[in-house]
Structure 1
Amino acid sequence: MILSALLTSVGINLGLCFLFFILYSILSKQPGNADVYAPRLVAEGKLEQRNNFNLERLLPSTSWVSRSWNPSEEELLLRAGLDGVVFMRIIIFSLKVAAFAAVVGLCALLPINYMGSQIFIDFSDLTNKSLESFSISNVNDGSKKLWVHFAAIYIFTAFVCYLLYVEYRYISLKRLAYYYSSEPKPEQFTVLVRGIPKSSTDSLSGSVAKFFSEYYPSLYLSHCMVYHTTKIQKIISDAGKVSRKLAHLKSTQKASQRFGRVGFCGIFGPKVDLLDYYEKKLEDLEEKARKQQSLLSGKEVPAAFVSFKSRLGAAVALHIQQGENPTEWLTERAPEPRDIYWPFFSASFLSRWIGNVVVVFACVILTILFFIPVIIVQGLTNLDQLETWFPFLKDVLNITFISQVITGYLPSLILKMFLYLVPPVMIMLSSIQGYVAHSQIARSACNKMLWFTIWNIFFANALSGSVLYRVNIFLEPKEIPTILAVAVPGQATFFITYVVTNGWTNTSSELFRLMPLVSSYMGRIFSAETGENFEVPSLPYSSEIPSILLFGLLGITYFFLSPLILPFLLVYYCLAYIIYRHQLLNVYSPKFETGGTFWPIVHNATVFSLVLMHIIAVGIFGLKQVPLASALTTPLPIITLLFNSYCRKRFLPVFKGYPAESMIKKDRIDENNPAVSDLHEKLISAYQDPALKPTRFSGRTDGHNAPLLASEV
């Protein structure tokens, strides 16, 4: 790619960023858009609505930047939870790495690359020359200046490892402090028990009570069984929709709106009094739900939430094999009640194992299919290849601006559009693996999305000329450094445009929230429901964290290969810092709290990026005929992996579970805490399936609203 094509891409995306900022600044001031740009504040009743028109509403401003910048980390912790704080620490960590890399890369390495003579540079026509002149490829073979790159790699590795240690330690301490400061919560006293064996004499509920009363007589408190409630959940969901329509009809002042047709899209069917129609339908749905509830008695799923009198008692049951058969009485950490994903409680040990196998095959197939857009994208970056594929476009491709747009902007845009389809697929695949918590699904999808993007965005694009036609390179480990050294530097300019298109523009569009805005307007036009009916979204960690880490991988690997990418990464991280702070404070509301357990994923991905950089460096120094530098770089990945092993043993256990010391201290602190006694009483119903709770949509107060299934004790 030539410099002019890169500048064209930067210009287009910079214009889009400014357009998004201006539109957001204006649209967010309109009272009707509050549920789009500040849904959390609306739900919490903290947004002041001003309906009086004034000219300021139509003028863009930057006041939102200062409002997002000012809150401290403690305020952010109160608003977004520890996961929100850790998410921002990921951005800050990445920003520090990119800033240090930019100082070293731009001040020391870029001038050496640019002043090399390996690639001929015509200074009179610089804008039409390849950007490889700014990469290490331009340094002369055997040049002593390559030792500057060697020293920079060692210094940069030491700096990143230091930051990783500091952040791991800080977040682990923050996690313990958050645990000590938290109020008593149901998940701290409860474990999920699955694989409950059937008994010829007792029900599943009776088996649970008998087992834990016998083996944990002084610790066992109560339990709550799980039932098949898929049909009931569907009925209650329909009842909720009808209830909201009914509320809208009752709030309207126009009698004409209370009469209409109930057929398809309100067009077909007889004209009826909608108020009477929906009241009758709501009562029917409630009765239907109660009937389904009554059919569940004695039909439990072999799973139960078992609660204990202390945190230590729950931890003991969690970490010890309960039965002689290791596939029975399986215990796992209970999620928060709001975090539970109910559909897969009935999955057996075998079905979950089969589900995991199916998901592995599905991920492999998805990865292979994604090679199609990668091949298309790589063809667009090469005009000669594009003219070979489509000779009839030769005259069009000779137009300078069009060729610059096609090679500089279009490839990243196409890849971006295909990537939009991947996160929902990863969420779906993770949800069929038998996880029982939304947070578990999010972490699993985060891992899948991370390695999918690393392979399909980095490796498949960087090695498109090798990996797609030479699969056997992975059977030749000695050749991998050389192949990476040849292929990766040549894709630097493509990844710069990728950072600009998928980094700058994507982050700016996160602020603009185009799809929620369109959905809101469409809802006002076509929906009969009240505008107050909206769900406060939560931050999609499973897609955002992999995106940040992919850019971190690009920054680390291209740090010494092509430092020109670093200023673009700095701009991206600065945008991400201020925009995501704003979104966490005003838009997103946490749906679960994992206590910062996303950080180990970040640590592992960063270590992988460092090791990959070292492997590429070994190959580069070998190609550049500096064998001593190549040999001296070889210990670096080993040292980095040893550092990673130390961090895993030093900090990772805190993220897997809280230590006994902390739990005993917490139990002692809460000995005289009346909140614990209240919690013990609430534990009986805390983990009851929402589908089994009494329905109250119609406002009836008779016995028809009483729960049919009492919680087990």
Structure 2
Amino acid sequence: MDIAALLTSTGINIVICVVLFSFYSILRKQPINVNVYFGRRLASQHSKRINLCLERFLPSPSWIWKAWETSEDEIMAIGGLDGVVFVRILVFSIRVFSIAAGICIILVLPINYHGQDRIHKIIPFESLEVFTIENVKEGSKWLWAHCLALYVITLSACTLLYFEYKSITYLRLLHIIGSPPNPSHFTILVRSIPWSSEQSYCETVKNFFSHYHAPTYLSHQMIYKSGTVQKLKDDAEHMCKVIKHASVEKTCKSNFTPCCYPGFATNSFKKISSEMDSIQRKMSYNNMHLDTGEKDCAAAFVFFKSRYAALMAALVQQTSNPMLWVTDVAPEPHDVYWSNIRIPYRQLWLRKIATFVASVAFMLVFLIPVTFVQGLTQLDKLQKMLPFLTGILKEKIVNQVVTGYLPSVILVLFLYAVPPMMMFFSAVEGSISRSSRKKSACCKVLYFTIWNVFFVNVFTGSVISQLSVFSSVTDLPSQLAKAVPAQSTFFTTYVLSSGWASLACEVMQFFPLLCNIVERFILRHKEDTLNGNLSFPYHTEVPKVLLFGFLGFTCSILAPLILPFLLIYFFLAYLVYRNQIINVYITKYDSGGQFWPIAHNTTIFSLIFAQLIALGVFGLKSSSIASGFTIPLLIGTLLFHQYCRKRFLPVFKSNSAQILIDLDLRDERCGRMEEIYEQLRTTYNQPNVMLHASCHPQCCGHHENKDSGESSEDMEKGKENNQKNRPQAVQRSLSLSSDKSVLGVN
């Protein structure tokens, strides 16, 4: 590929970005699109006031200034700690690649360009390989510049990583200490409850925790069977009961005819009817009281009197059999993934094996489009294998478009199928919370994209180029050192197509916009049905950002031309994603910054891999000095990673006893414990089984270490006050997510 093909791809993507950003600045001002581009604000403010003026139909960059001016505290209030962490990943990328671009463009790029004694063409007709380390001759004394640049990039990245990790750890601690009482801190999830023929699961849980955790056990709430099949079964049982009660009522009416007697009051019919309704309700209550035990699952939420007690119960093995009474820290109420909590614990290892096998199979199937894409990037080699393509590609413009733009676009289109598939695998895997499911999908998408976008492209490109495979495993490092610089040109075009264009598509929100148009103009719906339905797609955007960071670190000294395109992407991403967090996406739950350890580990892996590739390249170029100085850098990076794992990572894995005990003492001094206990009763409400919880108080576990069963009237009052007793943490998050200003769409 030459510079002209790269410029063609750049020009196409610039035009696409400018057109889409201009359309967005106009479409966001139209009243019919408010629910598409301001869903977050509508959900928090319920406001749609828009000024009608000519400016609505003219493109303007006002959304860019608003995204730029929004402070980190506002991002925290709107998007939670996860939103702040994602923005911090972008800020870290901008900083480190600004340093990398500065030193590589000034120092490394001229050495690569003049690395051989040759006559250069005019720059637009130069091959991109001239700007890579491939153009440096063997034994060149100028390879020390590449080693120096690698040192600067690594030291800068590690320094910035340390301060970012330290700062985000501090924000996580503030998130735990400063927020109102979190119900999940008092709650554990118990699974694999042993079955007993003598008592129900509910009684088993009560007896176990009342005996072994008597001083701290507060109450518990059983988890019931639900879902489509269970709902059909419950509906069938309910119809049978209605038919049965209707037949009883008909029999009673046929045996009693009071209208034959004179002086019989007409309101007596109402009295008898009300008595029959009361009897029917009692019969229905008794039947459901007997049937609820059959709908129990071998899982329950158990509430404790203090945060420290709940943490100890979650971390300690409960019995000598580790497969029984399995405990975990409970997710936040809005974060619970109810369908997976009912999965039998013994199935989880089978599910994990099955999803791993399915993921590997999906990665193998994906080799087909990747190999096809690599064939398009090396048409001269492919024409030797398939001569009939020679006549089609004689036109130079066609050749430039096919080699410079089409391959990356095709790969991006195929990659759109990956996140939904990985999210499905993560759901089948058995995650107990929505945030852990999204985190698991994020890791799967990250592994998949790094493997297929980088490694498979490198290997298949080398195979097509050499028309042979690696002779042995020992040749792999040297072949990798040769192949990565050769494929760096494809990665540059991939940054353009998958990076710049994807940001323009992200801000346009094509799918919600299309759904809105269909509902407004075809189905004629007047109500907004998209409000509050979109949450931030961390499982797709975090892997994309980290993949570009991986490509940047790997190709920084090998092909420095990729760095300016990466910097432009990260700047655009910073503005686009801040705009989306502020206006579009709803924060339904918060994992507490759990995506940062993924970003840190990926960055360390990228640095180590870049150093290994550089070590191989220096060996191929016969530069023993550069190779020798790279080894200490590799060891130092590993030691730095190990230090961060010991110093910061435990804060993200579990809460400390010191913080939880201090919070317990603070709430006891303020007299808020009783209020917290009352909130726990109505916090974890399982969807579609509210009737069971309100009709069977004992199985709900609403007691405090004694048989203090509540009456049905008390349960009905609790059900009516369900919305009034919402946790303060949820109320605070909703209040913080709303802007003080009136909704504006300038």
TM-score, normalised on structure 1?
Answer: 0.87
Confirm or deny that 1:64 pairs with 2:51: no
User: Residue 405 and residue 72 in structure 1: after superposition, are their counterparts in 2 closer, same or farther (change >3 A)?
Assistant: same
Answer yes or no: is the 8 Å Cα contact 2:26–2:57 preserved in 1: yes
1:161 to 142, 158, 162: 158
Equivalent in the alignment of 1:145: 142
Give the superposition deviation at 1:471. 7.6
Partner SS, residue 500 of structure 1: helix
What are the equivalent positions in structure 2 for 1:171-250 lying under 5 Å apart? 171-231=168-228
Equivalent in the alignment of 1:99: 98
User: Residue 115 and residue 234 in structure 1: after superposition, are their counterparts in 2 closer, same or farther (change >3 A)?
Assistant: farther
Letter in 2 for 1:64: W
2 CA distance for matches of 1:320 and 1:358? 29
Give the superposition deviation at 1:532. 2.3
Equivalent in the alignment of 2:393: 397
Equivalent in the alignment of 1:588: 585
Letter in 2 for 1:304: A
Equivalent in the alignment of 2:452: 456
Cα deviation, 1:559-618, whole Å, max 9, x if unaligned, reads 110111000000000000011001001001112111101111111101100110111011
Partner SS, residue 642 of structure 2: helix
Give the superposition deviation at 1:390. 5.3
Answer yes or no: is the 8 Å Cα contact 1:226–1:688 preserved in 2: no
Equivalent in the alignment of 1:534: 530
1:682 to 679, 698, 705: 679
- Greater Cα offset, 350-359 or 377-386: 377-386
Give the superposition deviation at 1:500. 0.6
User: Residue 212 and residue 471 in structure 1: after superposition, are their counterparts in 2 closer, same or farther (change >3 A)?
Assistant: farther
1:520 to 516, 519, 533: 516
Give the superposition deviation at 1:201. 2.5
Confirm or deny that 1:375 pairs with 2:374: no
Equivalent in the alignment of 1:246: none
Answer yes or no: is the 8 Å Cα contact 2:36–2:530 preserved in 1: no
Letter in 2 for 1:130: S
Equivalent in the alignment of 2:416: 420
Q: Please, what is the CA RMSD of the aligned residues? A: 2.3
Give the superposition deviation at 1:169. 0.8
Equivalent in the alignment of 1:33: 33
Confirm or deny that 1:84 pairs with 2:83: yes
2 CA distance for matches of 1:3 and 1:115? 16
Equivalent in the alignment of 1:708: 695
Give the superposition deviation at 1:514. 1.2
> Which runs of 5 or more residues in structure 1 are unaligned?
239-287, 695-704
2 CA distance for matches of 1:473 and 1:317? 55
User: Residue 291 and residue 438 in structure 1: after superposition, are their counterparts in 2 closer, same or farther (change >3 A)?
Assistant: farther
Give the superposition deviation at 1:439. 0.6
2 CA distance for matches of 1:203 and 1:217? 20
Give the superposition deviation at 1:528. 6.0
2 CA distance for matches of 1:475 and 1:391? 32
Equivalent in the alignment of 2:121: 123
Partner SS, residue 617 of structure 1: helix
Give the superposition deviation at 1:324. 1.1
Letter in 2 for 1:73: E
User: Residue 491 and residue 92 in structure 1: after superposition, are their counterparts in 2 closer, same or farther (change >3 A)?
Assistant: same
1 CA distance for matches of 2:597 and 2:571? 23
User: Residue 17 and residue 235 in structure 1: after superposition, are their counterparts in 2 closer, same or farther (change >3 A)?
Assistant: farther
Equivalent in the alignment of 2:553: 556
1 CA distance for matches of 2:352 and 2:389? 47
Answer yes or no: is the 8 Å Cα contact 2:5–2:404 preserved in 1: yes
Confirm or deny that 1:14 pairs with 2:14: yes
User: Residue 659 and residue 499 in structure 1: after superposition, are their counterparts in 2 closer, same or farther (change >3 A)?
Assistant: same
Confirm or deny that 1:574 pairs with 2:571: yes
Partner SS, residue 122 of structure 1: coil
2 CA distance for matches of 1:89 and 1:291? 56
Give the superposition deviation at 1:683. 1.1
Cα deviation, 1:146-168, whole Å, max 9, x if unaligned, reads 01111221222111111111111
Confirm or deny that 1:135 pairs with 2:122: no
Answer yes or no: is the 8 Å Cα contact 1:294–1:708 preserved in 2: no
Answer yes or no: is the 8 Å Cα contact 1:341–1:438 preserved in 2: yes
Letter in 2 for 1:443: K
Give the superposition deviation at 1:385. 3.5
1:494 to 458, 475, 490: 490
Answer yes or no: is the 8 Å Cα contact 2:481–2:616 preserved in 1: yes
User: Residue 507 and residue 294 in structure 1: after superposition, are their counterparts in 2 closer, same or farther (change >3 A)?
Assistant: farther
User: Residue 302 and residue 414 in structure 1: after superposition, are their counterparts in 2 closer, same or farther (change >3 A)?
Assistant: same
Give the superposition deviation at 1:36. 0.6
2 CA distance for matches of 1:456 and 1:293? 55
2 CA distance for matches of 1:691 and 1:636? 57
User: Residue 35 and residue 571 in structure 1: after superposition, are their counterparts in 2 closer, same or farther (change >3 A)?
Assistant: same
- Greater Cα offset, 320-329 or 378-387: 378-387
TM-score, normalised on structure 2?
Answer: 0.83
User: Residue 321 and residue 298 in structure 1: after superposition, are their counterparts in 2 closer, same or farther (change >3 A)?
Assistant: same
Equivalent in the alignment of 1:699: none
User: Residue 291 and residue 550 in structure 1: after superposition, are their counterparts in 2 closer, same or farther (change >3 A)?
Assistant: farther
- Greater Cα offset, 31-40 or 674-683: 674-683
User: Residue 706 and residue 613 in structure 1: after superposition, are their counterparts in 2 closer, same or farther (change >3 A)?
Assistant: closer
Answer yes or no: is the 8 Å Cα contact 2:191–2:327 preserved in 1: yes
1 CA distance for matches of 2:569 and 2:90? 10
- Greater Cα offset, 533-542 or 56-65: 533-542
Q: Which runs of 4+ in 1 moved over 6 A?
A: 232-236, 290-294, 467-474
> Which runs of 5 or more residues in structure 2 are unaligned?
236-283, 703-746
Confirm or deny that 1:606 pairs with 2:612: no
Give the superposition deviation at 1:305. 0.5
Letter in 1 for 2:701: E
Give the superposition deviation at 1:463. 2.1
Answer yes or no: is the 8 Å Cα contact 1:189–1:311 preserved in 2: yes
1 CA distance for matches of 2:230 and 2:635? 53
Answer yes or no: is the 8 Å Cα contact 1:184–1:675 preserved in 2: no
Partner SS, residue 298 of structure 2: strand
Answer yes or no: is the 8 Å Cα contact 1:460–1:467 preserved in 2: no
Give the superposition deviation at 1:480. 3.7
Letter in 2 for 1:223: H
Equivalent in the alignment of 1:4: 4
Give the superposition deviation at 1:363. 1.0
What are the equivalent positions in structure 2 for 1:329-478 lying under 5 Å apart? 329-388=325-384, 391-466=387-462, 475-476=473-474
Partner SS, residue 200 of structure 1: coil
Answer yes or no: is the 8 Å Cα contact 2:470–2:476 preserved in 1: no
Give the superposition deviation at 1:687. 1.4
2 CA distance for matches of 1:592 and 1:446? 16
1:665 to 659, 662, 666: 662
Alignment length (residue pairs): 647
Answer yes or no: is the 8 Å Cα contact 1:196–1:303 preserved in 2: yes
Letter in 1 for 2:344: S
Answer yes or no: is the 8 Å Cα contact 1:226–1:303 preserved in 2: yes
1 CA distance for matches of 2:494 and 2:577? 20
Letter in 2 for 1:123: K
User: Residue 471 and residue 206 in structure 1: after superposition, are their counterparts in 2 closer, same or farther (change >3 A)?
Assistant: farther
Give the superposition deviation at 1:293. 10
Cα deviation, 1:57-81, whole Å, max 9, x if unaligned, reads 1100011111111121111111110
Letter in 2 for 1:65: I
Answer yes or no: is the 8 Å Cα contact 2:503–2:576 preserved in 1: yes
User: Residue 685 and residue 233 in structure 1: after superposition, are their counterparts in 2 closer, same or farther (change >3 A)?
Assistant: farther
Answer yes or no: is the 8 Å Cα contact 1:184–1:676 preserved in 2: no
2 CA distance for matches of 1:58 and 1:519? 22
2 CA distance for matches of 1:637 and 1:709? 62
Equivalent in the alignment of 1:49: 49
2 CA distance for matches of 1:543 and 1:566? 22
Partner SS, residue 218 of structure 2: strand
1 CA distance for matches of 2:212 and 2:393? 77
Answer yes or no: is the 8 Å Cα contact 1:228–1:296 preserved in 2: no
